Amino acid sequence: MPRKPFIAGNWKMSLATNEASQLAMSIASTCSDLSDRDVLIAPSFTALHAVADAIKGSDIILAGQNVCWEEQGAYTGEISPAMLRDLGCTSVIIGHSERRTLFGETDQLVNKRLTGALAHGINPILCVGETLEEREQNITFEVLEKQMRIGLDKVDENSAHHIVIAYEPVWAIGTGKTASNEQAQEVHAFLRQLLAQIYKKGLAASIRILYGGSVKPENIDSLMVQPDIDGALVGGAALNAQSFERIVKFK
Residues serving a catalytic function are 96, 168
Q: What is the distance of C-alpha 131 from the center of its chain?
A: 18
Picking from 226, 221, 193, the residue whose alpha carbon sits closest to that of residue 207 is 193
DSSP characters over 27-46: HHHHHTT-TTSEEEEE--GG
6-37 b/e (C-beta count within 10 Å ≥ 16 → b): bbbbbbbebbeeeebbebbbbbbebbeeeeeb
Residue 101 backbone class (left: φ over 0; alpha: ψ -120 to 50; beta: rest): alpha
Picking from 42, 16, 21, the residue whose alpha carbon sits closest to that of residue 234 is 42
Phi, psi of 32 (to 5 degrees): -95, -5
